[in-house]
Structure 1
């Protein structure tokens, strides 16, 4: 064992020192600039640790910023200027986000589609669904089925508009991207959009972007050692661009196949070509990321962005966070379809959130159209499904310095779910609702 046993996080929490986190941080920065040499990342980590051992006294607890300063120094001295630049950029962006989270700025956040938010708030106010108190009163008056109808109609109307805009541009269009952060409802929306456009005479071919993942062993990891599938660099962006360009030119490509059980990608598997009247349909987290389709001119693609932009205030005047809705959605979906414990989803969410703040949300305002996929009625449903769990997680992680994020989210969500009137009966929800993607019981075929 070396001199360094503990480190101080930015929160002030003292946690055990784990050199693997240094390796992961270096490797993530390398992956972001096209490098995939894990052994080199491990070697550089050893140099960082050696400098720490030499620089700090026995028993000293370095701050995370001190360690990151040493990482920068080692990267530059070893001739990895590009990786160092990416690492520095990541630090600066993270610091900027922390400042934005802790202060009130007059400048609007670029992460928020303000025009769509305003329209969504206007809709919520006009339907008396803009506060928890208001929806509670309507539920107690026996109006839950009517609330469901109102919310579903709002969502379907947005889909109709998106389909009309796409049809208007169909003469030149070669591809439609359906994008948005985790659990925003991309799968259901893609299916329903395709149904509408088929009726309007448009034909689609899907491109499954998951098949472009690099082999699992080449993925970066998060600070807890979990493989990170959330970053765009987990995908072979160069190959995606090459294939999109060829497809747009009417040429054939051979799409790879990714085996999730083996964590391996097999190249040149499935032939794909667009006929004269066909459009490529792409459902992806990163469809709006500039690197995803940089070779394709804007007039050939339509970019749709989804997010549950719920406009509902709690009793203390705070709006329910969209990220909390998506966290619950993913918990329910993963437990139903992926045998993934909801608690694991909570513990991993900090990393999902970090990646989307950097790689997804900043590009929301580059979309051609935005769909609000929130359903005001989903909050009462979640109260009956997960309230007890969130109360337990709040207790469990209260004094765990490594799980401050999980504790903060559990505390915030349990407070909301305790305030809302719970609904256990989901029978009023249509079988093709976007919410069925998460709570189960969908009549749509997701395969």
Structure 2
């Protein structure tokens, strides 16, 4: 990966999410896989702090001071423009710790390096990730769909017509639960060092359901767990970030009190109690009351969070203490034009169902807010996919027609869909009656297409038009697992 030669260039500015105020002579380092990445002093500070924390020390200022010395040593050792390796940086950290009389911390840091190497060896699923796309998992999902005759919209319709729908549901559910069991086994293998399990992923990918299933498997194996609700850590409404249009953006990590989350996670993993805040979503503020929260000995802490992989969320947690689990709706189903259903479109469909059924939101509100969701996902979630321990497919091959039915889209009462069915080809949707509602958010072609989608009951070119125009409702009545929660 080539990096902008200008250390102040736009590419380096994007890569270095925590740019330092001082002008560093060393701007790039070589990772173990040979990639060049921006030099980041914060990573050194965190490594020193974690090593000290393992011995009971939690002096953040001292860790930052030692990190400054490491940077000074690196600058004195290497000429300007040089690219030291990660191992060179870590060697410098050990020397600085020893020179400052922190021999025990240096020993803990050496152990930290060893455990990091062992953790990297235990990430088989991430090996197939390139450009933030989990190709290995995608191929496995597609192969399963082909073997079970559900890899295209036409094949799904054929399953419904020929009486194979119940069997497809049973086999898909069995495969889902088998993989949950596999993940639970991976977690158990890392005990007792592992204390924290983070289930992360984009909106409506299935985090809550999957977290519940994992906790059930752990309980069945005799392991106790504690679920920590990070929704209580939202900032007061008056402190919430706004976009350039003055609208609140609750989808970004800055909407959460990250400092308090880190403080409480550190105390919990040290066996100390915390006073968890209670957030009132009706008032947009915290209640005066707090709730005592404590992690017992040998108890596993479970966190279900959009931004669980974001570096600032768990900056004081040693990597070997956490199992990072990433879930995405990796739907591998093609339409009659050979195009795959877009993952983001499927998740938006799920969110529209959830918001309309459980939160009394009109689908127009969900569509109008979706640009915030996608912006946050692409910036704060997807870039961290290579840091996870396991990647999980949260989609089910039979779910598409159920979302269509729950949203009340009936092809027989939608002229736009009728026109599409008669022509047998993709088309640009247009309003079928009345005026397209004006949705919130920045104006532009995508917003106008979204407004036409709400008015016509179909989606713009690609993605959700598959569900509305080509997918038949299954004729068989059968009990299904609610998805999403």
> Do they superpose with TM above 0.5?
yes
Q: C-alpha distance in 2, partners of 1:298/1:272?
A: 23
Residue 291 of structure 1: SS of its match in structure 2? helix
Cα distance 1:321–1:373, how it changes in 2: closer, same or farther (>3 A)? same
Task: Determine which of 193, 198, 201 is the counterpart of 1:177.
Answer: 198
CA-to-aligned-CA distance 1:146-176 (integer Å, 9 cap, x gap): 1111221121111011101011112111111
Q: C-alpha distance in 2, partners of 1:435/1:426?
A: 18
Superposed displacement of residue 353, structure 1: 0.6
Does the 8 A contact of 1:307 with 1:371 survive in 2?
yes
Cα distance 1:137–1:150, how it changes in 2: closer, same or farther (>3 A)? same
Superposed displacement of residue 370, structure 1: 1.7
Within 5 Å, which residues of 2 pair with 1:149-168? 149-168=170-189
Whether 1:233 aligns to 2:254 is yes
Superposed displacement of residue 266, structure 1: 4.1
Does the 8 A contact of 1:398 with 1:404 survive in 2?
no
Query: 2:156 maps to what in 1?
Result: 135
Task: Determine which of 188, 191, 208 is the counterpart of 2:229.
Answer: 208
Query: 1:191 maps to what in 2?
Result: 212
Query: 2:144 maps to what in 1?
Result: 123
Superposed displacement of residue 110, structure 1: 2.7
Within 5 Å, which residues of 2 pair with 1:17-416? 110-222=131-243, 225-266=246-287, 269-386=290-407, 387=409, 394-395=430-431, 402=443, 404-406=445-447, 407=449, 410-411=459-460, 412-416=462-466
CA-to-aligned-CA distance 1:177-229 (integer Å, 9 cap, x gap): 11111011111111111111001111111111011111112112345543211
Superposed displacement of residue 420, structure 1: 3.0
Residue 256 of structure 1: SS of its match in structure 2? strand
Q: C-alpha distance in 1, partners of 2:216/2:245?
A: 41
Superposed displacement of residue 349, structure 1: 0.7
Q: C-alpha distance in 2, partners of 1:210/1:348?
A: 19
CA-to-aligned-CA distance 1:348-398 (integer Å, 9 cap, x gap): 111111110111111123211122111111112233344458969852659
Query: 2:23 maps to what in 1?
Result: none
**5+ long unaligned stretches in structure 1:** 1-28, 34-107, 438-447
TM normalised by structure 1 equals: 0.69
Query: 1:421 maps to what in 2?
Result: 471
Superposed displacement of residue 418, structure 1: 3.7
Does the 8 A contact of 2:194 with 2:322 survive in 1?
yes
Does the 8 A contact of 1:350 with 1:405 survive in 2?
no
Cα distance 1:235–1:267, how it changes in 2: closer, same or farther (>3 A)? farther
Q: C-alpha distance in 2, partners of 1:426/1:237?
A: 48
Q: C-alpha distance in 2, partners of 1:150/1:390?
A: 36
Which has the higher Rg, Structure 1 or Structure 2?
2
Q: C-alpha distance in 2, partners of 1:364/1:189?
A: 18
Does the 8 A contact of 2:350 with 2:484 survive in 1?
no
Superposed displacement of residue 427, structure 1: 4.7
**5+ long unaligned stretches in structure 2:** 1-13, 19-128, 418-428, 454-458
Q: C-alpha distance in 1, partners of 2:363/2:385?
A: 28
Cα distance 1:161–1:332, how it changes in 2: closer, same or farther (>3 A)? same
Cα distance 1:275–1:322, how it changes in 2: closer, same or farther (>3 A)? same
Residue 313 of structure 2: SS of its match in structure 1? coil
Cα distance 1:334–1:213, how it changes in 2: closer, same or farther (>3 A)? same
Superposed displacement of residue 428, structure 1: 2.2
- Where relative contact order (Cα < 8 A, 6+ residues apart) is larger, the structure is 1
Q: C-alpha distance in 2, partners of 1:117/1:316?
A: 20
Cα distance 1:112–1:418, how it changes in 2: closer, same or farther (>3 A)? same
Q: C-alpha distance in 1, partners of 2:251/2:150?
A: 33
